[in-house]
Structure 1
Amino acid sequence: MKTIALVGDRSPAVRAHTRIPRILDEIRELDQLDFDVYWVPTTEAADPDALTGFSGIWLTPGSPYRREAGGIAAARTARTAGIPFLGTCAGFQHAMLEFAREVCGLREARHAEYDGDGEDLIVELSCSLAGHESAVGLAPGSLAERLLGASRTIERYHCSYGLATGRLDLLRAHGMRFTGHADDGEVRVAELPDHPFFLATLFQPELAGDGPHPVIRGFARAAAA
């Protein structure tokens, strides 16, 4: 039996947390996939063995996490072990932090929502995206474009933090590919092309209203393969 870890601090106040398990259940029935889903709190995810044996890891919305290190560990485990990974909203943010710190050597990279010193890699957006929809342009040939089957999409958000532009070239130089952008050029999607399935979106595909979003469906299929 394949298993998917939903890493995050489950709360009824976070709309995504109530929707994600239902969406995965729907995909399991639609695509006749065989997997179970388990929540792993960030307070537990930092344990070295917490995510051992999972065939998929979804780093869910809900920042700030109770334990930042748990979110970082989830992204690192998926990246280094080749486990299919989806990070949405806060999951996107912490995946970028992990990559900057562990791959690019930017140890002082930090998330502006957390206390501490260092260089803000995840910064407060000049205009909050909470409750908004906006267009995202997708890079030709990217995983995101293949899943969506289009070069442009309208997506829903519920976040106020995004990726600072000052270190994008450093992340690119170490292998991160930014494959989705808003009309103003701000990054909305990132992926690792040499990974079996590693996709992070600042938008929240779990908030889409017309059936399971192709990004989630692609992740579930990768995890169940």
Structure 2
Amino acid sequence: MKYIFVTGGVVSSLGKGVASASLGALLRARGYKVTAVKIDPYINIDAGTMRPYEHGEVFVTASGAETDLDIGNYERFLDLDIPAGSNITTGQVYLEVIRKERAGDYLSQTVQVIPHVTDEIKRRIRAAGENAGAEIVLIEVGGTVGDIESLPFLEAIRQFKFDEGDENVLYLHLTLVPYLGTSNEFKTKPTQHSVAELRSVGISPDIVMVRSKEKLPSDITRKIALFTSVRENRVFSSYDVGHVYELPLALEEQGLGKAVEDLLGLERTHPNLGVWQNAVRTIKQPKNEVTIALAGKYTEMPDAYLSLLESLTHAGIANDARVNIKWVNAEELAGGDLEAQLGDADGILVPGGFGIRGIEGKVRAAEYARTRGVPYLGICLGMQIAVIEYARHVAGLAGANSAEFDPYAPHKVIDLMPEQLEVEGLGGTMRLGDWPMDLRAGTKIAELYGVPQGGTVRERHRHRFEVNPAYTGPLQDAGLVISGVTPGVEGRGAGLVESIEIPGHPFFVALQAHPEFKSRPMRPSPPFAGFVAAALRSDQPSAVGGQPEKAGA
């Protein structure tokens, strides 16, 4: 097994995840079995309880792990389901070391960072590769070289060359070269200092990758090579591109794939990059264009909706269209002019989320889409919002709400299920990971998934509240179609509502699941692809009316 370690310097948020994922895409295009690991040096066990404004979205794996958003980048670029254990945190490592100490695994030993903590880090990295059956493991070390919290991880990856041999380990360091407009020059000093800091902990980079506004001139590349003792043909420019899917092509053009082949003793192979070439062509020169209003509450932090935005891009590629996002703050919708904020949108998307802030604005967005015939896609909370809106304004259930927002609501159409009532903690206690959905024959969503006669598909979940089964009858009697339900899984959750739709509407579909987590550039999510297709057909038709055509139970 080969190991590629990616570290970062100068500043955080340079894009190590995208750089690592792009390298993984180049290796996958050469036919190698690749997996990825993200190391986060925070003490949290996982990303599940972290603030979206600070950390971005929580990406959920098939196995139900709540991980860093970079795991999502890896899945999209590598077209793989990343296995459990591939997001390693300080909290996980120390919890396991302490557990072993209490269990007597370290009897007579003084438990220390070296070797006990570093050995646990190395064990987890190797296990992630073995569980994935990988030939090459990409490991991104979060944070910036010089951070106190990352030191045990840097020491652990330093030891890998001694454990595995030089030919099986590669260190790639990503830094920043700022451009000073006043003097019209790129400044390499921060990169020099960053590499010196990395060397101070015993790691010499084999490859230096530089983030910059523009592609670095050859004289700057030579200067970086000279002062970092890295060969000039192993210094690469990760410059600003129009879209992240251009990065694998830009790095391949510079020779990154060949450099890795040489350093790890891999056979020279010509990569098949057709997927990325096609994606970039469509993104740059689409035949169509569409505008989607995204009514959320984290609109100032796009990374909070990263997978969702990428899914819209994938849907655009499938429909040969550019998808423009109109960010709409849900709080402002509560009492604002809906026509002014939503009137120019070809489709309305209400995403997932937690907490009461912005809820009434999202309800108004769902009502606007339903009554104006505007294509609507609801994701997780977005489905619950659609149910609340329909219950209030069509089913005649005045005051309908979710128990999450109003525990005293007269009609709690969204509520906790019995198995959640006794839960006290918050981390990792939701319905998480892949769950099956039984899709009803003849429904829009069954058509989207390619099973028009009905069938079972699987999508990822991350939620605690569900549509209250006590209200499914009244909702269906009022015309709402429950198009997907959860089958019995180990005796839990049979019949829970997975998807709804409104017949007679151009496109009104909502899912309890998060299909964006499984969307890929080469395999777009069916609900997102269908939503964008419907938005392209939409020309803001006349109102559909209050109550749609009656549908059967």
- CA deviation profile, 1:77-124 (whole Å, cap 9, x unmatched): 000000000001000011100000011111121111114632211102
**Is the aligned partner of 1:138 residue 2:430?**
no
Correspondence for 1:62: 353
Question: How far does residue 66 in structure 1 lie from its aligned partner after superposition?
Answer: 1.4
Query: What residue in structure 1 maps to residue 529 of structure 2?
Result: 217
Change (3 A) 1:138 1:208: same
Q: 1:168 to 1:16 in 2, by over 3 A?
A: farther
1:105 match? 396
Q: Which amino acid in structure 1 is aligned with residue 324 of structure 2?
A: D
Q: Which of 142, 167, 173 pairs up with 2:477?
A: 173
Q: Which is worse superposed, 130-139 or 193-202? A: 130-139
For 1:209 and 1:216, the matched residues in 2 are separated by 9
Structure 1 residues 163 and 16, CA gap change in structure 2 (3 angstroms): farther
Q: Distance in 2 between matches of 1:106 and 1:42?
A: 23
**Shift in alpha-carbon separation, 1:16–1:193, aligned structure 2, 3 A:** farther
Check if 1:199 corresponds to 2:487: no
Following TM superposition, by how much is the alpha carbon of 1:16 offset from its aligned partner in structure 2, in angstroms? 6.3
CA contact (8 A) 2:448 2:530 kept: yes
CA offsets, 1:120-168, max 9 Å, x none? Answer: 1110233554432111100001101100013110110011011001111
Per-residue CA shift, 1:33-78, capped at 9, x if unaligned? 2441112111122223221221100110012241221110011000
User: Aligned letter for 2:445?
Assistant: A
**What is the match of residue 38 of structure 1?**
326
> How far does residue 23 in structure 1 lie from its aligned partner after superposition?
2.0
Q: Residue 368 of structure 2 aligns with which residue?
A: 77
Q: Distance in 2 between matches of 1:178 and 1:129?
A: 22
The one-letter code of the counterpart of 2:370 is: R
* Alpha carbons 2:313, 2:323 under 8 Å: kept: no
Which letter does structure 2 place at the counterpart of 1:174? A
Q: Partner letter of residue 479 of structure 2?
A: G
SS at match of 2:342: coil
Task: For 1:165 and 1:193, locate their aligned partners in 2 and report how far apart those are by CA, in whole Å.
Answer: 21
Task: Verify: 1:7 aligned to 2:299, yes or no.
Answer: no
How far the C-alpha of 1:10 sits from its partner, in A, is 1.9
The count of aligned residue pairs is 225
Aligned to 1:161: 465
1-10 vs 54-63, greater mean Cα deviation: 1-10
Q: Secondary structure at the match of 1:131?
A: strand
1:120 paired with 2:412, answer yes
Q: Which runs of 5+ in 1 are unaligned?
A: none
Question: Is the Cα contact below 8 Å between 1:16 and 1:61 reproduced in 2?
Answer: no
Q: Which amino acid in 2 is paired with 1:124?
A: L
Per-residue deviation, 1:224: 1.5
Q: Please report how far the alpha carbon of residue 3 of structure 1 lies from its aligned counterpart in structure 2 after TM superposition.
A: 1.4
CA–CA distance in structure 2, aligned partners of residues 103 and 64 of structure 1: 25
1:185 corresponding residue in structure 2? 495
Alpha-carbon distance, 1:11 to partner? 6.6
Please say which structure displays the higher CA radius of gyration: 2
- The structural deviation recorded for 1:209 is 4.8
Q: What secondary structure is seen at the aligned counterpart in 2 of 1:157? A: strand
| In 1: Cα distance, 2:329 partner to 2:469 partner | 30
Q: CA deviation at 1:204?
A: 0.8
2: distance between equivalents of 1:28 and 1:88?
18
Q: CA deviation at 1:15?
A: 7.2
Q: State how far apart, in whole Å, the 1-side matches of 2:319 and 2:290 are.
A: 14
Could you tell me which amino acid in structure 1 is paired with residue 309 of structure 2? P
Q: Which runs of 4+ in 1 moved over 3 A?
A: 11-16, 127-130
Query: Sequence identity of aligned pairs in percent?
Result: 30
Q: Tell me which residue corresponds to 2:450.
A: 149
Q: Does the 8 Å CA contact 1:33/1:221 hold for their aligned counterparts?
A: no
Return closer, same or farther for 1:140/1:79 CA change in 2, 3 Å cut-off.
same
2:386 paired residue among 74, 78, 95: 95
- Mapped to 1, the partners of 2:431 and 2:471 lie a distance apart of 24
Residue 307 (structure 2) pairs with residue 19 (structure 1): yes
In structure 1, C-alpha distance between the alignment counterparts of 2:329 and 2:322, rounded to whole Å: 23
Question: Counterparts of 1:209 and 1:29 in 2: how far apart (Å)?
Answer: 12
Which has the bigger relative contact order, CA under 8 A and spacing at least 6? 1
Contact in 2 for aligned 1:178/1:189 (Cα 8 Å): yes
Secondary structure at the aligned position of 2:462 is classed as coil
Mark the CA change 1:26 to 1:191 in structure 2 (over 3 Å): closer, same or farther: same
Quote the RMSD (CA, aligned, Å): 2.0
Q: Which has the higher helix share?
A: 2
How far apart, in 2, do the equivalents of 1:80 and 1:3 lie?
19
Cα distance in 2 for partners of 1:35, 1:18 equals: 14
* Greater alpha carbon shift after TM alignment, 98-107 vs 19-28: 19-28
- Contact 1:188–1:202 (Cα < 8 Å) also in 2: yes
SS in 1 for 2:293: strand
- CA pair 219-81 structure 1, distance change in 2 beyond 3 A: same
Q: How high is the TM-score relative to the length of structure 1?
A: 0.92
**Do the aligned partners of 2:367 and 2:389 also contact (CA within 8 Å) in 1?**
yes
Asked if structure 2 preserves the Cα contact closer than 8 Å seen for 1:8 and 1:65, the reply is: no
